Structure 1
Amino acid sequence: MITHIVFFKLKDRSPEAVKATAQVLTNMEGKIPVLKYIEVGLDVLHLERSYDIALITKFESLEDLQAYDVHPLHLGVKEHMKQVLDGTSVCVDFQS
């Protein structure tokens, strides 16, 4: 199993904007066959160093993660994220 974790810091950190982007991410659930698990978490501390959203996804293999990366729905999500991100996201991918 491959776990893929991404942290996002948004330009607009208002609760409404964060929830709207979290919904864009959550919308992938059940729509990408290789995506075996998805969890979207919203930051509760709201510190300057905090990221606003954490995305945790799981895949059976690295090949499945690569297929997810180019899936049309995920490509649309990436386009949305380019518009709302304050800089770049950070991620970690590991075997679990």
Structure 2
Amino acid sequence: MLTHVVLFKLKDRSPESVEATRQVLVNMEGKIPVLKHIEVGVDVHHLERSYDLVLITKFDSPEDLQVYDTHPIHEEVKAHMKKVLDGTSVCVDFLS
């Protein structure tokens, strides 16, 4: 299994904005067949070095991650994230 973890820092870090973007991410659940698990977490400490959201997804293979990356639902999410991100996201992909 491949685990894909992405951290996001938003331009607008208000609770309402963070929740709206969390909903955009969670909305992928059940809509992309290769996406085996999705979890979205919201930062609770709000430190200067903190990221606002974490996306944890799981796939059967690296190839499935590539399918996910170009899926139309994920493309919509990427378009949203491009508008709301403060800079770039960071990610880690590892075999689990």
The two structures have a TM-score, normalised by structure 2, of 1.00
For these two proteins, the number of residue pairs brought into alignment is: 96
Aligned counterparts, 1:1-96, within 5 A: 1-96=1-96
| Amino acid in the other structure paired with 1:77 | V
Quote the Cα distance in structure 1 between the aligned partners of 2:75 and 2:92.
19
* Identical counterparts, % of pairs: 77
RMSD: 0.2
Quote the Cα distance in structure 1 between the aligned partners of 2:39 and 2:51.
15
Quote the Cα distance in structure 1 between the aligned partners of 2:55 and 2:2.
14
Q: Which runs of 5+ in 1 are unaligned?
A: none
1:55-88 deviation per Cα after TM superposition (whole angstroms, max 9, x unaligned): 0000000010000000000000000000000000
Alpha-carbon shift at residue 11 of structure 1 (Å)? 0.1
| Amino acid in the other structure paired with 2:94 | F
| Amino acid in the other structure paired with 2:78 | K
Quote the Cα distance in structure 2 between the aligned partners of 1:12 and 1:68.
27
| Amino acid in the other structure paired with 1:42 | V
Alpha-carbon shift at residue 5 of structure 1 (Å)? 0.0
- Deviating beyond 2 angstroms after TM superposition, the runs of 4 or more aligned structure 1 residues are none
| Amino acid in the other structure paired with 2:41 | G
